[in-house]
């Protein structure tokens, strides 16, 4: 019986406060993607959130020493091994946060090639929204990732009373989630590739037996 591998979605949240509107947006984008995948495929969906604020000290140490700690290494491996990445950062001085950029700098620039990525950002006013197009999208274009057409920015006024989204923000979130799900579905399945790879130790064993 063949085991069906789940879709792996990793959301990277660079919010600094707790609770954080950045994390809230990441959760909404993740949920929209999960729902879209569920509508199109019977495969289960595995979701992981990487909170960069919890890794800030490890990221700083890595920048100085060049060696990631266990938690940071696990976060990087989660991102590089994901079928789809949702990257959300607060906007400071018309660009992504330093914490967000430092984490991306740790990842080898070949590891996100052709990776489906959904970008999002939060800020105090809508005038920061252009940072998605002049900062985040070029960053992932440099990394040769496949970035979905719809980028989602949420200003303070986009959030309704309490935890309710405005209709406009909700529509953008659903559309972006659908686009990321579509890109993920277009990626070649991992199960067949995994079956085709024979571990080196197993190859040696076969050679010993044949001789």
Alpha helix locations (H) across 41-155? 56-65, 70-80, 98-106, 131, 137-142
Residue 187: per-residue pLDDT: 84
> Which H or E run includes 90?
strand 84-92
Residue 197: per-residue pLDDT: 44
Residue 125: per-residue pLDDT: 82
Stated pTM of the model: 0.84
Topology, domain 7-210: Rossmann fold (3.40.50)
CB atoms within 10 A of CB 60: 12
Q: What is the pLDDT along the chain (211 residues), one digit of tens a residue?
A: 557 889 999 999 999 988 899 999 999 999 999 999 999 999 999 999 999 999 999 999 999 998 999 999 999 999 999 999 999 999 998 899 999 999 999 999 999 999 999 999 999 888 888 999 999 999 999 999 999 999 999 998 887 644 444 568 999 999 999 999 999 999 875 433 333 444 545 444 444 444 4
Residue 195: per-residue pLDDT: 39
């Amino acid at each position: 019986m063949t085991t069906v591998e789940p879709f792996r979605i990793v959301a990277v949240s660079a919010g600094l406060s707790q609770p954080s509107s950045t994390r809230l947006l990441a959760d909404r984008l993740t949920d929209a993607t999960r729902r879209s995948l569920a509508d199109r495929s019977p495969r289960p969906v595995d979701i992981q959130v990487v909170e960069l604020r919890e890794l800030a000290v490890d990221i700083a140490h890595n920048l100085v020493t060049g060696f990631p700690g266990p938690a940071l290494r696990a976060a990087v491996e989660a991102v590089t091994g994901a079928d789809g990445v949702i990257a959300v950062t607060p906007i400071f001085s018309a660009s992504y946060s330093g914490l967000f950029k430092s984490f991306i700098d740790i990842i080898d620039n070949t590891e996100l090639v052709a990776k489906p990525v959904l970008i999002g950002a939060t800020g105090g006013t809508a005038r920061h929204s252009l940072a998605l197009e002049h900062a985040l999208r070029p960053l992932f274009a440099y990394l040769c990732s496949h970035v979905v057409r719809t980028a989602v920015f949420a200003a303070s006024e986009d959030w309704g009373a309490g935890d309710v989204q405005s209709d406009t923000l909700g529509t953008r979130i659903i559309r972006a989630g659908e686009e990321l799900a579509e890109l993920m579905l277009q990626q070649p399945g991992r199960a067949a590739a995994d079956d085709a790879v024979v571990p080196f130790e197993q190859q040696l064993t076969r050679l010993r037996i044949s001789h």
